[in-house]
Structure 1
């Protein structure tokens, strides 16, 4: 089965609607695959979306490739950007502001709700929830200046949509946000990312050391550089104890994460990681058994996993990540979302 990193998807009521990542990143939405999980739940919105005859065909086969609807393609892409966008200065891929992504996704979700009533029943977030997150703690106001006119327009659209939904409080909040951006000055948001260096080492007492890459599927989105080999680790001894030191270079935001060290697949140490100056670092003392293990094995048999280490996670491979980065770097500028345009504008201000 194709890993989710390669397939933007909208989780509809009783179905999944999938798109080809390459198509969406290239600004094309030629076709979409509808895969039913509950025909009874999907039938009402599917009929409104595709017509009675096509709906019967899909219901009969359980899945079908249909002409894509731009509203669904845009929502699928934005959801993918929020989860999988491979931000990395070293790879030439800028960070995307989460508040701008939330605002765009709120508008896209509203457009899909208007397209086919009931399609998004039980969806992961409503336009109201996404808008609330976007404006929380002044995040949208801080992110908006590079693309203030576009943000103002999206807020005006949401104000009208909320008004139609009789959500007076959010309609007023969106209208107020639009008005406050009327004279917004250009600016940019700063991030915590730093290139980083390996942990200092004298070489004395180092039992094992190595490097690793962050599996995007095991960490929250938008917190770490997506490049390969950003993790450095070493096991060192002193007169009294042994410890595992971990350094993860490139951090955009804080999160509660840890690193788990395994030997031939068996965990033997866990290191809580804390955000520092553009990096996550952590140290954990090893017990006697772990120390003996580290002293008696080759470093290549020790694996370090940053983030969720459970077997239930469908991890990404280096090939997965390389393919996605290549597609993102080839993305036409004119196909960019609001968050991408803001990132480009902020980058231009640095030169």
Structure 2
């Protein structure tokens, strides 16, 4: 089964609409696969989207391949970026502002709702919810300056859409953002990553140590640098006790993160990680059994997982991550989202 990192998808009412990642990131999605999960729920919107003949064919097969609709391709692209974007200073992939992503996703979601009524029934987030998140605590206005004109345009579109939905409060809020940006001073939001440092060289007191990569599927999006080998750890003997020290280089935002040490598939220690200057770090004292294990097991048989360590997570591999990074780095300028354009503009302003 293809890992979700390779398959952009829109979860529709009664169906999954899938796109090819390479085509989507290149801005040239030609087709979309519709896999039906509830034919009765999907039939009304699928008829509006594809016509009666194509709908009947898809209902008969349980699936169908249709020409890609730009509204759905745009939403699928944004949903994928929100979850899997591999931000990394060392890889040259900029971090994206979540408020700008929320705004553009709100507009894209509204466009799909206009395209085929009912397609997004029960969807993960409505345009209203996405807009509320974007403007919370002034985040959108703070992020908007590199692309202020585009943000004004999108907020103007949302104001009109909310007005059509009789959502007067949000229509006024979107119009207020437009007004504020017309008079807002120039500025930019910066993301900083401190350079990583290796743990101390192995020596007296170091029972085990290693370096790991972050599995993107196990951590929240937009939090950690997506490069390989950003996690260093060591188990250090301290008198009659031992402790596990973890350092995760590259942090874009705070989150509740933990690291779990595993031996032969079984966890034996857990460390809560705290955000510092561009990195997450944490230390935990080991119990007697864990300290004894570390003292008697070679480092290569100990693994460290940052984030969710449960077996139910479909993890990414180094090959998965390398393929995605290559596709993102090859992304043409005309396919970029608002948040990507903002990041590129802010980067140019720094130099």
TM range (shorter): over 0.9
Alignment of 1:138-149 (within 5 A): 138-149=138-149
Partner of 1:262: 262
Q: Which residue of 1 aligns with 2:93?
A: 93
| Aligned counterparts of 2:107 and 2:77: Cα–Cα separation in 1 | 13
Moved over 4 A (4+): none
Contact 2:84 2:216 in 1 (8 A): yes
State whether residues 187 and 346 of structure 1, in contact with CA within 8 Å, keep that contact through their aligned partners in structure 2.
no
Q: CA deviation at 1:179?
A: 1.3
Where 1:181 maps in the other structure, the secondary structure is helix
Match of 2:324 in 1: 324
Question: What are the superposed Cα offsets for residues 24-43 of structure 1, whole Å, 9 maximum, x if unpaired?
Answer: 11111200000000000000
Distance 2:236 2:111 in 1: 56
**Aligned CA-pair RMSD:** 0.9
Q: Distance in 2 between matches of 1:194 and 1:77?
A: 30
Distance across 1 between alignment mates of 2:65 and 2:185: 46
Do the aligned partners of 1:33 and 1:65 also contact (CA within 8 Å) in 2?
yes
Counterpart position of 2:207? 207
Aligned to 2:293: 293
Alignment of 1:21-32 (within 5 A): 21-32=21-32
Q: In structure 2, how many angstroms separate the alpha carbons of the residues matched to 1:290 and 1:247?
A: 20
TM-fit CA distance, 1:201: 5.3
1:236 aligned partner: 236
Distance 1:7 1:116 in 2: 22
Q: Which residue does 2:184 correspond to in 1?
A: 184
Aligned to 2:80: 80
Shift of 1:186: 3.4
Q: Unaligned 5+ residue runs, structure 2?
A: none
Cα separation, 1, equivalents of 2:185 and 2:6: 37
Shift of the alpha carbon at 1:260? 0.4
| Aligned-partner Cα distance in 2 for 1:62–1:141 | 45
Deviation at 1:200, TM superposition (A): 4.0
Tell me if 1:111 matches 2:107: no
Taking the aligned partners of 1:21 and 1:329, their CA distance within structure 2 comes to: 13
Q: 2:252 matched to which residue of 1?
A: 252
Q: Take 2:270 and 2:41, find their aligned partners in 1: how far apart are those partners? A: 44
What is the DSSP-based 3-state SS (H/G/I as helix, E as strand, rest coil) of the residue aligned with 1:182? helix
- Partner Cα separation in structure 2 for residue 28 and residue 183 of structure 1: 37
Shift of 1:192: 4.2
Residue 64 of structure 2 corresponds to residue 64 of structure 1 = yes
TM-score by length of structure 2 reads: 0.99
Matches of 1:187 and 1:207, distance apart in 2:
49
Q: Residue 58 of structure 1: SS of its match in structure 2?
A: helix
In structure 2, the partner of 1:349 is 349
Distance across 2 between alignment mates of 1:325 and 1:100: 21
Q: Give the match's secondary structure for 1:90.
A: coil
Using the alignment, how far apart are the partners of 1:38 and 1:203 within structure 2?
Answer: 61
Q: Distance in 1 between matches of 2:314 and 2:5?
A: 10
**Per-residue CA distance 1:220-250 (angstroms, 9 max, x = gap):** 0000000000000000001131000000000
Gaps of at least 5 residues in structure 1 are none
Q: Deviations over 1:232-279 (max 9, x none)?
A: 000000113100000000000000010000011111101110111110
Cα distance, 1:180 vs structure 2: 1.1
**Counterpart Cα distance in 1 of 2:323 and 2:186:** 34
Q: Is the 8 A contact 2:202 2:209 kept in 1?
A: no
Q: CA deviation at 1:184?
A: 3.5
